[in-house]
Amino acid sequence: MKILVTGGAGFIGSAVVRRAIADGHAVVNLDALTYAACLDSVASVADHPAYAFEHADIRDRAALDRIFAAHAPDAVLHLAAESHVDRSIDGPGEFIDTNVRGTFTLLEAARAYWERAGRPGAFRFHHVSTDEVYGSLGAEGQFTEATPYDPRSPYAASKAASDHLVRAWGETYGLPVVLTNCSNNYGPFHFPEKLIPVVILRALAGQPIPIYGAGENVRDWLYVEDHAEALLEVLQRGRLGRSYNIGGENEARNIDLVRMLCAILDDRRPEGAPHDRLISFVADRPGHDARYAIDPTRIRTELGWRPSVTLEQGLARTVDWYLANEDWWRPLLARPGVGARLGLAGAT
Neighbours of 303 (CB within 10 A): 16
Query: Catalytic site residue 115?
Result: no
Q: Catalytic one among 31, 54, 57, 132?
A: 132
User: In the 8-state DSSP scheme, what is residue 143?
Assistant: B
Considering the complex, state which of residue 43 and residue 120 has its C-beta at the smaller distance from ligand NAD: 43
Look up residue 24 and give its DSSP letter: T
CB nearer to ligand NAD: pick between 105 and 176: 105
From residue 188 to residue 217, the character string flagging contacts with ligand NAD as x (rule: CB under 6 A) and all else as - is ---x--------------------------
- Per-residue interface string for the shown chain with ligand NAD, residues 33-62, x marking contact by CB under 6 A: xx-xx-------------------xxx---
**Active site annotation includes 249:** no
Output the residue with the shortest Cβ distance to ligand NAD: 10
Buried b (16+ CB within 10 A) or exposed e, 324-339: eeeebbeebbebeebb
Residue length, the chain?
A: 348
User: Cβ of residue 346: shortest distance to ligand NAD, in angstroms?
Assistant: 24
CB 154 within 8 A of CB 204: no
Single out the residue of 19, 29, 102, 311 in contact with ligand NAD (rule: CB under 6 A): 102
CB of 344 to ligand NAD, least distance (A): 17
Question: Cα–Cα distance between 36 and 242 in angstroms, integer?
Answer: 29
Of these residues, 113, 155, 223, 322, which one is catalytic?
155
Find the shortest distance in angstroms from Cβ 238 to ligand NAD: 16
Q: What share of the chain is helix, strand, coil (3-state, %, to 5)?
A: 45, 15, 35
Contact assessment for residue 125 and residue 177, using Cβ atoms and an 8 Å cutoff: yes
- DSSP one-letter code for 284: P
How many CA atoms does the CB half-sphere of 1 hold within 13 Å? Answer: 19
- Binding-site size for ligand NAD (CB under 6 A) equals 31
Residue 284 known to be catalytic? no
Nearer to ligand NAD, 86 or 266 (CB): 86
Calpha distance 185→192 (Å, rounded): 13
Q: Which residues bind ligand NAD (CB under 6 A)?
A: 6-7, 9-13, 31-34, 36-37, 57-59, 79-83, 98, 102, 128-130, 159, 182, 184-185, 191
Catalytic residues: 131-132, 155
